[in-house]
Structure 1
Amino acid sequence: GRIKGGEIAIEAHGLTRDFGSFRAVDQVSFSVRQGEIFGLLGANGAGKTTAIKMLTGILPPTKGEGQVAGADMRSAAQTIKERIGYMSQSFSLYQDMTVVENIRLYSRIYGVARSELGQRVDWAIEIAGLEGVEGRLASKLPLGIRQRLALSCALVHWPRILFLDEPTSGVDPIGRRRFWDILTHLSRVEQVAILITTHYMSEADHCDHLALMYAGRIIAEDSPEAMKQALYEDVGELFEVTVDQPLVAMNLLEQDGYKGVGLFGKRIHFFARDPRTVIPPLRLLFASHGLQVLKLRPLTPTLEDVFVYRILAQEKQERRP
């Protein structure tokens, strides 16, 4: 379910952006509440970054409208920039400056009052877990800590809304986990609204609400749990089968009408309605074609399964004449 009671922080209505004849974002609508982590999911080129650039006032929309922090993104881009934190994929840290010098510089860029500077810088260091590295040069930091420094720079003016575009790309799992601990604190304790784009499915599970983008459109939107439940209601339980000839087995499953057949390493995933009526006939089917079943079992679907199924179903639908 949605975060209850929070006021609307970000609202998009029919956002559309064309580049020549190419439509990068197509009629996108959603809302994000204060205290909510909202994830925009999708492969590269799905339109996630373009959507964020429109909402932050960097890129004018071809059609549609949006409000951020109570300001209209078409006419009040400057107001929006003052009220939000934005960590883009190309966020620039000054490599020859220390951690604390970077934070101080960004606090001046954001117009933090001199009387509040010390308090804001201390808070930004504490919130991003940068105690002990304040005097190190940005260029000498590991990637995970560098990303936390970029986050603290985007937060130093105490924005109520935070836009993060692929913030943990290339960061190791421990670094990603620490980053998400900070985001959870910001949303739950500080009531910051967070709009984040990611293609890491394990991260998407930490979001309160998700919108799945494909070819510029939102093709699914709900909480992570509700997305998994909707998948179960649409296509049944998820199964995994390991066989000695996976490509042959995939063709057999597709010919037999099984949904969501996909190869994950050497294992095949597919969906079926009733586990009791699935396993015996499948073993017979594979045996009759000389295939050896090494393992066949039901699985709990992950968001990756939801993502892959929805995207492949969309691609299949678009290929139909």
Structure 2
Amino acid sequence: MDKNEYWKLEIVAFYALQSIHGIGFRTLYKIAAKKISFRDLIKTDDYLYFEKTLRLKLEDSAIESEESWEQYKKDLWVRGVELARKCQRENIRVIFYDQEIFPKQLRSIPEPPMWLFIQGNLANLHNRSVAIVGSRKATEEGLWLTTLVVAAMAKGGLVSVSGLAEGIDQKAHIDSLRFKIPTIAVLGTGIDSNYPKGSEVIRAEILANEGTIVSEYLIGQSYSAQNFVRRNRIQAGLAETIIPVEWKVKSGTAHTVNFTKEYNRFLVMPHLPNTVDNDELQLVRSYPLGLTFCVPEHSGALIDFIFHPYDKLTHVVESGEGNNQIQMDI
């Protein structure tokens, strides 16, 4: 069996298992992390192994005879095919961790996604990207800083990443569309869910302009606080540089900042003149790969860093600035 055929069958089996009542994200994630094939699980003749692996108790009618067990698996496969076709009609595809087309930068993070549901341009996931994130309750200052950061990326070559949430995230996507920058929206729900309410228009515009919608959550899966925390690790994992433009140390965005530090990504925070030296600025400066920029005075330096962060890192280390840490306020 060639690779393409193997993954086609694995995808159908994955959809089939999702259709079983009581089987959720965590169960399937653990199975995939153990390198158990979804297709092999459905093909097994041993229903006890099936039950144990899925932590599921089958109805007696499904296992009362060999014939009933085979029929159960056939019916399950049909449901998988139907769901796969439905997703295909909606231009939703799924890629797995072990496929060559899976983003390399996500393979290296702790507890990586075992799969990604994708709508739109897959190539964006392999290009250099900058994540712009922040508060749902954005101020005029935060929105202005978001526009500045996104506009700085307009000369091309970078992809923006955000989470489609109200406030800073949606502003980052809207400005990316305005400046013709490909943008990736990483969801905290199943990819077929329109959350937050009213985001359908932005989603459609992202897809119409060579952007990408991404989620690791199962079809039909709703939101939860924990889902958004896990979502934030994908934003930090995809991006080369993460820019929290408006946030608090005790907030959802703080999780993204923490993942940024854990993954050794660059962390950048722009701020306006006369901004109080708050906890957020101090936290960014305390991180060896963190930089704060006072704008608009140092907008040029901000733009240069966004496009050439490794050059800046080499300059600081070689010159001995900042005790070998990129933590000075520029």
Answer yes or no: same fold by TM over 0.5.
no
Q: TM-score, normalised by structure 2?
A: 0.29
Q: Counting strand residues as a fraction of each chain, which structure ranks higher? A: 1
Q: Counting helix residues as a fraction of each chain, which structure ranks higher? A: 2
